[in-house]
A and B are shown apart, each in its own frame.
Chain A
Amino acid sequence: MTKKEALLKYTLRLADNASILGHRLGEWCGHGPVLEQDIAMTNIALDLIGQARNYYQYAAKLEAAGKTEDDYAYLRDPLDYYNLLLLEQPNGNFAHSIVRQYFFDIFHYLFLTALMSSKDKQLAAIAEKSIKEVTYHKKWSGDWILRLGDGTELSNEKMQTAINVLQTYVGELFLMDEVDEMMVKENIGVDLAPIKEEWTRIVQEHFTEAKLKLPDATWTQKGGKQGYHSEHLGYILADMQYLQRTYPGAVW
């Protein structure tokens, strides 16, 4: 793998993470538990889709094959998507969506903070632009962790169930492969080992306050970063790509 190929894949992973989670949050539109939270979730969805666009545009420039951001979003199959498995998991109930969001927000914040000092000027600039949005995302999901964890017996139970289910996808956040290692060596990418340590410390501290438990990680689902997905991604893409697949080249 050349450095250029690695950088393209690295960028697409970041793009797909933002795009798929943004799409999932968008599914809450019109279904939120209250109007105000419906808007909060769709605001976060729009932040993420905006970030995804920045990465896709950069990917198009890197690949220099005459593609646009839309080609990446609308014309790739699941095997060519590189998002983390956690992010394609279904919305479930509100607790599932909050836990998924919180797990990623803490990771995302630590990751972008490190990416701001990337040697790659464009990635550093996107990180810097995104960090304010993500600071708010983690405040929003963190507040809900506390409210629902330390809420009623029922809300605590629902949160703990969601944590136990989604925790099996957390390990993948910190797994490094050939692409990551090459990018770290080039001072472009982020070393995930210190991020994992910091993430675990923050989440454990917060969970203790919220009367929740982070189960010990003995095993993790993995493969999303390499293009091997759970069944859910196919459904997301069918929904997301329907229009461009059915009416190729359709525009407003």
Chain B
Amino acid sequence: MKDWPLWEVFIRSKQGLNHIHAGSLHAADAEMAIENARDVYTRRNEGISIWVVESKHVKASNPEDQGALFDPADNKIYRHPTFYVLPDELKHM
């Protein structure tokens, strides 16, 4: 069981919402990963759908590239839609 691969688990909590990363777990194969995810991450009604993907298939950004990747967005406040005056009738924005 020590050689069971690691899986990333994504849970959709409600119809219409995205699957969101919930955590990771070990399992022998995809089928078992789904069952384990059901037992570990949906015990309190958290989900209606589960995705699993073996962690080794996730390509992650390199922490050293953080500056080049993310800093340029820092000083571009005009990308946030905060300069509009919203009409009163518009709710939930």
Q: A residues bordering B, Cβ < 8 Å?
A: 33-37, 39-40, 43, 139-140, 143, 147
Contacts and interface: CB of A to CB of B under 8 A. Distances in A.
Nearest to B25: A36
Given A36-B27, A143-B32, 18 more contacts: A33-B1, A34-B1, A34-B4, A34-B26, A35-B25, A35-B40, A36-B25, A36-B36, A36-B40, A37-B36, A39-B39, A39-B40, A40-B35, A43-B43, A139-B35, A140-B35, A143-B31, A147-B32
28 contacts: A33-B1, A34-B1, A34-B4, A34-B26, A35-B26, A35-B40, A36-B25, A36-B26, A36-B27, A36-B36, A36-B39, A36-B40, A37-B36, A39-B36, A39-B39, A39-B40, A39-B43, A40-B35, A40-B39, A43-B39, A43-B43, A139-B35, A140-B35, A143-B31, A143-B32, A143-B35, A147-B28, A147-B32
Contacts of B26: 34-36
Interface of B: 1, 4, 25-28, 31-32, 35-36, 39-40, 43
Nearest to A43: B39
The list of the 9 closest CB pairs from A to B, nearest first, reads A36-B36, A40-B39, A39-B39, A43-B39, A36-B25, A34-B1, A39-B40, A36-B40, A33-B1
Contacts of A147: 28, 32
A37 B27 CA distance: 10
Contacts of A143: 31-32, 35
B31 to A, nearest CB: 7
Nearest to A44: B39
A37 B25 CA distance: 11
A37 B35 CA distance: 10
Contacts of A37: 36
A43 B37 CA distance: 12
A43 B35 CA distance: 12
A209 B25 CA distance: 28
A140 B35 CA distance: 8
A34 B6 CA distance: 13
Contacts of B39: 36, 39-40, 43
Contacts of B31: 143
Nearest to B37: A36
Nearest to B7: A36
Contacts of B25: 35-36
A40 B1 contact: no
Query: Which of A36, A43, A139, A140 has the most chain B CB atoms inside 10 A of its CB?
Result: A36
